[in-house]
Amino acid sequence: MVRTTVSVLLCAFAATSLSAGTQEKKIVQYGGEPRDTAYVRQHVAEIEKVPLDGIAITVIGMDGSGKSTGSLGWQLFTKTSFRLEDCRRAVDDLKATKFKRFTENFIVCNSHPGQIDWFDPDWSIITHNVACLARVAKQGGCKGLMFDPEMYGEPPTPWSYTKLPENLRKAHTYPEYRDKARQRGREFIRAINKEFPDVVFFTLFGNSLSLEAAHSEARTPYGDSLYTLYSAFLDGILDAATPRTVLVDGHEWSYPYRRRAQFVKARKRVLGEGKDLSRNPVQFAKHVQAGFAVWSDMGSYRTGWHPEDFRKNYYTPAGLRASLNYALESSDRYVWVYSERLRWWGESNVPQEYLDALRLAKLGPGPGEKNPLSVAAINPVSAEWKGYSDAETFAEMRKTMTDVFDLPKDGWKFALDEPNRGAKLGWYRVDFDDSTWQTLSIGKWWEEQGVDYDGRAWYRRTFTPPALQPGKRVFLAFGGADDAAKVWLNGTFVAEHDIASGAEKAFTIEVTHLLRPEKANLLAVQIRDGQGYGGLWKSVKLMMK
């Protein structure tokens, strides 16, 4: 059993200079088992023993018989119109809650499942719903709304034009959808501001995670990402927000960050590149603040949570303290901590050392983690991952396509591209000299091969396909690219698999007119890995139909 005593931590603190500005910033808990207004009212004394500043709170709906209909936040973008009785009950709960320390509380809301199209006349249901949640937040004494825009599974709308049904794309062009999404953003924030003029709209990610979405508009007339319309929606919020509205970009990418430099760089990304990509940069500068996330039990859904042996956790108490301190330093006001198996209250499974890490984080980074658990150590072997086999991975494709050629697993040239300069330097060119690059295999995450790294990296491989049947269409089929991929064949950019499309999803790219049968072909792939494991971790094939 590995334990660090409180006295040791306090001694470490005494030897550490204070970090300017961090003491007034706030740490908010989000994730794990959701806590509704009734639970918070009943357990506030227990909750406030945890040295945080606030909690994300769920509003529960009821049917006519008093039976729970689940979280209203998860029904925000559906055709379920919220009942005012549910909101009044939630407000009553919050008004009756005797908060003494938690001053930074938020009401949870989500965009998934996105069941209402931007042009749907029923869109007014969404503005009604979000107004209800804003009323709960305002009248219940919260700071605002905590909004998760991530699309979990299918359908991936409302943020993706490419994933819309064909009849909707035929009815309206991509620019029309962008304009409509921006209009809906204006309507959305006006509904919120009517109830809550000085709201903090805390989105778990903003332009900081949809930068690739915005860049994609330069490659296609419609934006080939799942989040291009989210960027437009945020611009609409900026267009119409009251002067006192604050939009926090929570930068979910920072979950596994361990170094101060990572947070500093991310702040520039959130406020610099994010502003450059906004179509309303003036209001962006007035309203947007940088926030950060730290996943306190990073990877626990795969490897478990180990309160009895800190060395088995991604963050030890010392590591959690350091990362939280760096996050606080780089944020404008807010940092949020996420967890899955770790429970701060209720049937708590958190040792005192982790509670001390929350408290001490505002006072300095401490000694930090000297021997951090590597990302590779918390990830299973790729071949043991569910659905890894070719039979499972390519089963759907094989209903309409035929395998032609398996690209070799070994012998790929590999190089890191942390500054994202590879494309400018021509790393995709056929005549580029990659002889100094290391050699890596595909079909495995790069962490399995000793590359403990999050960021951009490149794979290059020459291959010679067989003769192909004339008149058939030919596709590159990727079993999995974690998290996103840009693909060049024979020096020509062919497509991107966006980060939001799924690290575990197989995808195809047509290369009929670029592929040279029975001759050497050069495939270059830039991978963007946000966190955890990364790389071309499954097979790559040629398929034909």
For the residues of 114-139, what is the DSSP string, one character each? --S-TT-GGGHHHHHHHHHHHHHHHH
Alpha helical stretches, state H, 217-299: 228-240, 260-268, 274-277, 281-287
Does the residue 296 lie in any domain?
Answer: yes
Same domain, 301 and 384: no
Number of domains the chain is built from: 2
> Which domain CATH number covers 125?
3.20.20
**Beta strands, E only, 412-453:** 412-416, 438-440
Same domain, 341 and 419: no
Determine the pLDDT at residue 329: 96
Determine the pLDDT at residue 33: 72
Determine the pLDDT at residue 296: 96
DSSP string, 347-399: S----HHHHHHHHHGGG--TT--SSPPPTGGGS--GGGSTT-SHHHHTTTGGG
Encoding tokens for residue 329? 């330093």
Does the residue 372 lie in any domain?
Answer: no
Does the residue 309 lie in any domain?
Answer: yes
Alpha helical stretches, state H, 309-351: 317-330
Same domain, 324 and 442: no
For the chain, list residues with pLDDT below 50.
Answer: 1-20, 213-223
Same domain, 406 and 301: no
Q: With contact defined as beta carbons under 8 Å apart, do 278 and 272 qualify?
A: no
Same domain, 460 and 538: yes
Does the residue 373 lie in any domain?
Answer: no
Same domain, 244 and 352: yes
> Which domain CATH number covers 437?
2.60.120.260
Does the residue 40 lie in any domain?
Answer: yes
Does the residue 358 lie in any domain?
Answer: yes
Does the residue 331 lie in any domain?
Answer: yes
Q: With contact defined as beta carbons under 8 Å apart, do 474 and 512 qualify?
A: yes
For residue 29, what are the domain limits?
Answer: 6-367
Same domain, 361 and 384: no
Domain boundary among 367, 398, 416: 367
Encoding tokens for residue 64? 């006519």
Per residue in 275-304, is it b (16+ CB within 10 Å) or e — as a string?
Answer: bebbbbeebbeebbbbbbbbbbbbbbeebe
Distance CA 274, CA 208 (A): 6
pLDDT, one tens digit per residue, over 447-456 is 899 898 888 9
Distance CA 233, CA 460 (A): 37
Domain boundary among 338, 367, 396: 367
Same domain, 361 and 385: no
Report helix angle 352-360 to 6-14, nearest 10: 20
Query: Nearest CA to 311 among 379, 375, 378, 373?
Result: 373
Q: With contact defined as beta carbons under 8 Å apart, do 444 and 535 qualify?
A: yes
Domain boundary among 344, 367, 390: 367
Find the radius of gyration of the CA atoms of the chain.
24
Same domain, 62 and 197: yes
Question: How many CB atoms within 10 Å of residue 518?
Answer: 9
Same domain, 306 and 443: no
Q: With contact defined as beta carbons under 8 Å apart, do 415 and 438 qualify?
A: yes
Report helix angle 352-360 to 317-330, nearest 10: 20
CA angle (476 as vertex; 471, 478 as ends), nearest 5: 150
- Residue 297 makes CB contacts below 8 A (sequence gap 6+) with 305, 313, 314, 315, 339, 340, 341, 342
Same domain, 342 and 428: no
Distance CA 23, CA 21 (A): 6
Same domain, 217 and 137: yes
Does the residue 510 lie in any domain?
Answer: yes
